[in-house]
């Protein structure tokens, strides 16, 4: 048998602490701590945040694209095997024009979403 307390007894033991912390928080929430302008002086003394160059995100996206193409060229057998398996699965399924259109739309949305995330300003 374990000597460790159960979660119910922990909750009951901690309820007094929770209520004491909440009461203390209510009591001191409205108080203002005067710092005689220290916070303002500190914030004005901090250097401005440095912004990354505008070309960085497109360059990173381009490098990932080059890495993907380089990987495909370095491992042509793997790419061919993957394409063969994808085609084998697709040919085994009945395909309609609406299914192809839905797939193209889904890929387009995924591409635009990935581009937007990669190029968004922070």
Q: Tell me the per-residue pLDDT of 18-39, one tens digit each, with 9 for 90 and over.
A: 888 888 888 877 777 778 888 8
Taking the model in full, what pTM does it have?
0.34
Q: Tell me the per-residue pLDDT of 70-86, one tens digit each, with 9 for 90 and over.
A: 888 888 888 788 888 88
Q: Could you tell me the pLDDT band of residue 1, with boundaries at 50, 70 and 90?
A: very low
Q: Which long-range contacts (CB under 8 A, 24 or more apart) does 57-64 make?
A: 57/118, 57/119, 58/119, 60/118, 61/115, 61/118, 61/119
List the domain boundaries for the chain.
7-45, 56-119
């Amino acid at each position: 048998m374990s000597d460790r307390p159960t979660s119910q007894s922990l909750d009951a033991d901690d309820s007094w602490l929770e209520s004491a912390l909440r009461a203390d928080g209510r009591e001191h929430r409205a108080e203002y701590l005067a710092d005689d302008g220290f916070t303002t002086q500190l914030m004005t003394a901090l250097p401005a945040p440095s912004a990354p160059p505008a070309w960085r995100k497109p360059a990173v996206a381009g490098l990932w694209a080059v890495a993907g193409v380089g990987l495909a060229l370095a491992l042509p057998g793997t790419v061919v095997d993957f394409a063969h398996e994808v085609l084998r699965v697709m040919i085994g399924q009945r395909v309609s024009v609406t299914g192809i259109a839905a797939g193209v739309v889904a890929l387009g949305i995924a591409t635009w979403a990935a581009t937007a995330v990669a190029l968004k300003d922070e």
